[in-house]
Amino acid sequence: MSRTPYNPETEGAQMSFDGRMSYGDYLRLDKILTAQAPLSHAHDEMLFIVQHQASEIWMRLVIHELMSVCEHIAKDDLAPSFKMLSRVSRILDQLNSAWDVLRTMTPSEYTTFREALGMSSGFQSFQYRAIEFLAGNKNAAMMRPHVHRPEIHAWLEGILRAPSIYDQSIRLLARKGFAIDAAVLERDCALPYEANDSVRDAWLVVYRAPEAHWPLYELAEKLVDFEDYFRRWRFNHVTTVERIIGFKTGTGGTSGVNYLRKMLDVVLFPELWSMRTEL
């Protein structure tokens, strides 16, 4: 018995897009899907490119969200920032899953195209650097790989010098009446943050009576959640690199796994972790 093929047009589906915007037009898929240009004939280079491009697209959204978080906290408008920080944590979960795909590539397969990468390296990702700066891991030396791109360098410098999400959170504590040292509130935001007892004491008050400081308590937990997922992302990065290249020098000239392991020691919101021991 023959069946007539289903035709969605009979139910009103739009099928003609001459001069009208389609799904592919809106998403600019012609640009996205032609941006993969392997430099070798190795089968696995496509995986390498797609994984990193997809990660950069997700990082684009992380930056968008974290910039908005800073703006909302600065205005004491916390509810939207909670949603945004939760979204960032879910994005980092997606980025963690991406390492699982890349780990299907063996060392033998990577060597078939590694030379084609030249000196390019994830170490040079300006979007990743922006995320680190927004989260508070400030290091002006990390901007040097971007000097050859003045517009990117200027953009990163603006983020470097602006208050991070943690700087904004500490300023919020002060606005809510907590005694925060002036040196913390007036510090140069382009420099790395150093843990401070007054900040730890403020968070201790919040955590000892969460019902009295619920918005600050929720903000603190959203920040811890964010850093938790960020740490997992870094750890998975180290594991993936070690699995694929061992302890070879990275393509960008870093010490590879040894450099990445140093990043595991970075703590973004130190008092939110240290005060847990005192609760």
CA distance 85 to 130: 16
DSSP at 75: T
What is the three-class DSSP state of 152? Answer: helix
CA angle 273, 277, 279 (to 5 degrees): 105
CA distance 255 to 20: 51
User: 133 is written with which tokens?
Assistant: 């700066």
Binding residue ranges: 48-52, 110, 114, 237, 251
Binding residue ranges for heme: 237
**Cβ atoms within 10 A of the Cβ of 102, count?**
21
Return the residue matching tokens 């750890």: 235
Please enumerate in sequence order all residues whose Cβ is within 8 A of that of 57, keeping only pairs 6 or more positions apart, or say none: none
Q: Report whether 156 contacts 87 (CB < 8 A).
A: no
Q: Name the CA dihedral angle for 270, 273, 277, 279, rounded to a multiple of 10 degrees.
A: 110
CA distance 69 to 132: 14
Binding residue ranges for substrate: 48-52, 110, 114, 251
